[in-house]
Amino acid sequence: MKLFEKVLIANRGEIALRILRACKEMGIKTVAIHSTADETSKHVRLADESVCIGPPSAKDSYLKMSAIISAAEVTGADAIHPGFGFLSENAAFAQMVEEHGITFIGPTPQHITMMGDKITAKKTMIDLGVPVVPGTEGAVNVDNAIEWANKIGYPVIVKATSGGGGKGMKVATSDEEVVNAVRLAGVEAKANFGNDEVYMERYLRRPRHIEIQVVADTHGNAVNLGERDCSIQRRHQKVWEEAPSPALAQDQRRTLGDIVNKAMKKMGYRGVGTLEFLFEDGQFFFMEMNTRIQVEHPVTEMVTGIDLIKEQIMIAAGHPLSFKQEDIKITGHAIECRINAEDPETFAPSPGKVIAYHTPGGFGVRVDSHVYGGYVVPPHYDSMVAKLIVHGKNREEAMQKVKRCLDEYIVDGIKTTIPLHRMLVDNPDMRKGDYDIHWLEKHLKKDA
């Protein structure tokens, strides 16, 4: 079975470079798209071809479907990889790609739509036997908010049905608060997603954020590659991820993996995906499914030895999975630190020219980044500029390796969140793996 001749990478930054490298190793030609602000980006320089698709604004470039399709047609690309963010979970874009006779390297538009709406996703998972957080059966509004909140039990959290990244989310602890929470979440959801629908769930007080990586092909095979712990978050944005989770026992991860595998097979899912759960008092509660490659996919690659981007491409080309569930062995421990171009104290964006850039190295060390000395970090996009990923034979060794690598990492000219990660790796709670999704924000407030 053949692979693709040419893949257009519909993204930017480190994930675009990650996809480009995988394609080159597979003998596939690459097309980089870019805005005028990204003309000197590393993946643009390394691609076989590049096409400028618009000005810096994402809505006029990386989110402009017609321009991306035109770039694919002009260059003769027979597949498009969307990466993460931008149009990666846009069902209309996936449908448009397929209608133009180009392969979308991702799930079907139907599955993207199904999992893109949080209420539909929750109903689907209930039908598939996946445990969910108690909550409303559909959208909630100011008229029935109090009734539902009392039925669920306070505290509750109101979420945008089309949301993500912490947008359109409000916590309420009383009848008075819940009406206002629904109103504010709806306004925020409308502004960010063009949809003001919200729903309500029980708010768990000290949960961990556990997600499980799945891979499924078009031949009826579905395999999970273990879990990642993504509980260290600020404003619902992940900061630090690790695999496996220090909070789970072997029987718990096996049980969750079996549930997820069965659900994906019943769905007929295609491609890579991540099911995200809250974990508290020994119970898992499904939150959402991301129908794309995740930012934190490298920690799974480090402990399994499986290249998820290459597997994505193979699946999209019609190949069966190159492994079975019994082939998956979790070896050692991996940690990823997201390094953003931000002030580590105020978290204000810090775009600008990188004067000097030196990445750490050594056994079991990986840095995914598009940055180089002289590169100008533009102010128009997400502030993540690098991911430091390490692998050790156990968690203690991985933590020591993170500490050593952070001391080696040099980024001059802009501010980064490297000092934040230095604080994390030295913290006693972090050393013990004793944290939850609220831990970092509480710790930052305490130090303020």
**Residues acting as catalytic residues:** 292
Token pair, residue 242, equals: 């690790």
Rg (CA), the chain: 21
Rounded CA separation 140/152 (Å): 13
| Pair 38, 11: CB distance under 8 Å | no
Per-residue H/E/C for the chain: CCCCCEEEECCCHHHHHHHHHHHHHCCCEEEEEEEHHHCCCHHHHHCCEEEEEECCCHHHCCCCHHHHHHHHHHHCCCEEECCCCCCCCCHHHHHHHHHCCCEECCCCHHHHHHHHCHHHHHHHHHHCCCCECCECCCCECCCCHHHHHHHHCCCEEEEECCCCCCCCEEEECCHHHHHHHHHHHHHHHHHHHCCCCEEEEECCCCCEEEEEEEEECCCCCEEEEEEEEEEEEECCEEEEEEECCCCCCHHHHHHHHHHHHHHHHHHCCCEEEEEEEEEECCEEEEEEEECCCCCCHHHHHHHHCCCHHHHHHHHHCCCCCCCCHHHCCCCCEEEEEEEECECCCCCCECCEECCEEECCCCCCEEEEECCCCCCEECCCCCCEEEEEEEEECCHHHHHHHHHHHHHHCEEECCCCCHHHHHHHHHCHHHHHCCCCCCHHHHHHHHHC
The partner residues of 356 in beta bridges, in order of sequence, read: 412
